[in-house]
């Protein structure tokens, strides 16, 4: 059989508003979207705010030599991801995450594709949502309740070296909801008030996490699930290697019931390829206000987040200034408003591969109705 050299073409300019219906882009008063009932919250996503986020490429023909296709795909990502911050590649011969149902001997699973691309894949451990591996270094995009809307964020910015690339595979997009908005960090940083930036840069960002023991409370993520082990010594080794401080909490009988960890980092990081200084943090998405509109915490529903209100509540995660002071909620709301006002989105198709530069772009999620099959792999470079 003769194979053609694989070619990708750039999608023509799309009229995004025609691809997204009002229900997709509605933000104001959206269920389980924190602060969406507040006066400041934008009415809807602005699909035209950044037509190049993501940049969409099509594979012109699927019958290509697999090795050549992998090489061309890697070159496409390496060339264009630093420019645009996120890419969608359509037409790859992906058969799904669970191998065995492909129509062609050239079809590969998502996990196989990631391995063949040759990036430095890594495990998702110590995170704030529940994920279980499905194949080599591949996870469901999130184990969160599908109704929940997630603030725009970069993954694992509390690691000393965050993931550089995120690979999302839309095996089966949700028919209702489930958009993944994207946010250009260059544009976002230009809009943040200078006094907010300066204070975080001066004091740093303190990331705090609380993980209950799975025998006590597993409504969010217990430490055993987050670190993929029940061995406390392995957890401690992981935390020490990551530069985290931590403490185990025990009851009067001496039985451990929770783990706390924290660290302080700059809100900025240097891009590993372009060397530019970028706003890389989870100040908004890891703030405890998230749980005031979350189905797993009905006791907080309808109660506004206040600094005073956090007393006595073991939030699974929270953000403070590096000196331990609480961040005024008006600061979090300013950052949240600017993020949603600046975000854009696209209509995913089955088989799409979304690649996100985790330094250049944030991603989020709007709630959806199952079924959905959506996978992620993360790379350090």
Peptide bond before 371: cis, by omega within 30 degrees of 0?
yes
Whether residue 53 sits in one domain with residue 177: yes
Give the C-alpha separation, 320 to 326, whole Å: 5
Tell me, what CATH number does 130's domain have? 3.60.130.10
The whole-number average pLDDT for the span 74-81 is 97
What is the structure's pLDDT at 272? 95
Whether residue 103 sits in one domain with residue 72: yes
Give the C-alpha separation, 124 to 155, whole Å: 10
What is the structure's pLDDT at 107? 82
Give the C-alpha separation, 8 to 90, whole Å: 9
Whether residue 328 sits in one domain with residue 357: no
Structure tokens at 240: 């020490």
Whether residue 79 sits in one domain with residue 96: yes
Query: Could you tell me if residue 200 is left (phi over 0), alpha (psi between -120 and 50 degrees) or otherwise beta?
Result: alpha
Decide: residue 342, CB within 10 A, 0-12 exposed, 13-18 middle, 19+ buried: buried
Give per-residue burial for 90-111: e unless 16+ CB within 10 Å, then b. Answer: bbbbbbbbeeeeeeeeebbbbb
Given the structure tokens 């989870």, which residue do they identify?
282
What is the structure's pLDDT at 180? 96
Question: If you average pLDDT over every residue of the chain, what do you get?
Answer: 90
pLDDT category at 259 given cuts 50, 70, 90 is very high
Instruction: Decide if 2 is inside a domain.
Output: no
Whether residue 220 sits in one domain with residue 282: yes
Highest mean pLDDT: which range of 16-25, 69-78, 127-136: 69-78
Backbone torsions φ then ψ of 184, nearest 5 degrees: -75, 120
Identify the domain containing residue 176 by its residue range: 8-182+344-379
Closest CA to 155 of 114, 201, 195, 124: 124
Give the C-alpha separation, 83 to 55, whole Å: 10
Whether residue 248 sits in one domain with residue 349: no
pLDDT category at 105 given cuts 50, 70, 90 is low
Lowest mean pLDDT among 6-15, 125-134, 260-269: 125-134
What is the structure's pLDDT at 14? 55
Question: Do β-strands 277-279 and 361-365 pair in parallel, antiparallel, or remain unpaired?
Answer: unpaired
Whether residue 323 sits in one domain with residue 274: yes
Whether residue 319 sits in one domain with residue 358: no
Given the structure tokens 């300019």, which residue do they identify?
13
What is the structure's pLDDT at 20? 73
Give the C-alpha separation, 123 to 133, whole Å: 9
Whether residue 229 sits in one domain with residue 101: no
The whole-number average pLDDT for the span 237-257 is 93
- Contact in structure between 145 and 319 (CB atoms under 8 Å): no
What is the structure's pLDDT at 13? 59
Instruction: Decide if 140 is inside a domain.
Output: yes
What is the structure's pLDDT at 378? 96
pLDDT category at 3 given cuts 50, 70, 90 is low
Other beta carbons less than 10 A from residue 195's beta carbon: 9
What is the structure's pLDDT at 51? 80
Checking if the pLDDT of 219 tops 50, the result is yes
pLDDT category at 101 given cuts 50, 70, 90 is very low
Give the C-alpha separation, 114 to 206, whole Å: 33
Handedness of CA 265, 362, 209, 328 (dihedral sign): positive
pLDDT in tens, 168-202: 999 999 999 999 999 999 999 999 999 999 999 99
Instruction: Decide if 98 is inside a domain.
Output: yes
Number of compact structural domains in the chain: 2
What is the structure's pLDDT at 131? 65
Structure tokens at 45: 């996503």
The whole-number average pLDDT for the span 136-159 is 92
Checking if the pLDDT of 303 tops 60, the result is yes
What is the structure's pLDDT at 103? 47
CA 308 to chain CA centroid, nearest Å: 29
More confident residue, 100 or 183: 183
The whole-number average pLDDT for the span 209-217 is 91
Whether residue 115 sits in one domain with residue 22: yes
Instruction: Decide if 1 is inside a domain.
Output: no
Length of the chain: 381
Whether residue 167 sits in one domain with residue 274: no
pLDDT in tens, 333-364: 999 999 999 999 899 999 999 999 999 999 99
Instruction: Decide if 276 is inside a domain.
Output: yes
Closest CA to 326 of 287, 365, 280, 299: 287
What is the structure's pLDDT at 254? 86
Q: DSSP characters for 250-292? A: E-TTS-EEEEEEEEEE-SEEE-TTT--EEE---TTTTSGGGGG
Give the C-alpha separation, 183 to 189, whole Å: 10
The whole-number average pLDDT for the span 360-377 is 96
Instruction: Decide if 3 is inside a domain.
Output: no
Instruction: Decide if 167 is inside a domain.
Output: yes
pLDDT in tens, 25-72: 899 999 999 999 999 999 999 867 788 899 999 998 756 688 899 999
- Contact in structure between 81 and 55 (CB atoms under 8 Å): no
Closest CA to 89 of 3, 176, 168: 168
pLDDT category at 1 given cuts 50, 70, 90 is low
Query: Could you tell me if residue 184 is left (phi over 0), alpha (psi between -120 and 50 degrees) or otherwise beta?
Result: beta
Whether residue 230 sits in one domain with residue 82: no
Give the C-alpha separation, 306 to 320, whole Å: 13
């Amino acid at each position: 059989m003769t194979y053609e050299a694989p070619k990708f073409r750039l999608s023509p300019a799309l009229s995004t508003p025609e691809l997204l219906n009002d229900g997709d882009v509605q933000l104001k008063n959206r269920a389980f979207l924190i602060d969406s009932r507040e006066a400041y919250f934008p009415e809807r996503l602005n699909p035209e705010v950044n037509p190049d986020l993501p940049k969409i490429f099509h594979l012109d023909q699927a019958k290509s030599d697999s090795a050549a296709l992998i090489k061309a795909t890697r070159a496409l990502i390496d060339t264009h991801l630093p420019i645009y911050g996120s890419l969608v590649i359509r037409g790859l011969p992906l058969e799904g995450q669970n191998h065995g149902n492909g129509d062609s001997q050239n079809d590969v699973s998502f996990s196989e594709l990631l391995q063949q691309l040759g990036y430095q894949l890594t495990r998702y451990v110590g995170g704030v949502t529940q994920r279980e591996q499905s194949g080599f270094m591949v996870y469901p995009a999130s184990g969160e309740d599908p109704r929940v809307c997630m603030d725009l964020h970069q993954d694992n910015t509390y690691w000393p070296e965050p993931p550089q690339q995120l690979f999302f595979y839309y095996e089966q997009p949700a028919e209702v909801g489930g958009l993944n908005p994207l946010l250009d960090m260059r544009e976002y940083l230009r809009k943040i008030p200078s006094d907010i930036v300066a204070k975080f840069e001066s004091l740093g960002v303190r990331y705090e996490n609380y993980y209950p023991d799975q025998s006590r409370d597993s409504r969010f993520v217990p430490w055993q699930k987050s670190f993929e082990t029940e061995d406390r010594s392995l957890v401690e080794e992981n935390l020490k290697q990551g530069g985290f401080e931590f403490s185990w909490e025990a009851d009067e009988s001496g039985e451990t019931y929770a783990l706390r960890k924290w660290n302080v980092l700059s809100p900025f990081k240097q891009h590993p390829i372009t060397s530019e200084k970028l706003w890389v943090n989870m100040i908004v998405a890891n703030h405890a206000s998230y749980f005031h509109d979350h189905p797993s915490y009905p006791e907080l529903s309808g109660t506004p987040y206040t600094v005073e209100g956090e007393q006595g509540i073991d939030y699974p995660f929270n953000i403070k200034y590096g000196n331990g002071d609480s961040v005024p909620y008006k600061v979090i709301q300013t950052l949240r408003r600017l993020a949603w006002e600046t975000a854009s989105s696209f209509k995913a198709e089955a088989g799409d591969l979304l690649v996100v530069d985790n330094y250049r772009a944030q991603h989020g999620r709007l709630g959806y109705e199952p079924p959905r099959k959506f996978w992620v792999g993360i790379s350090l470079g």
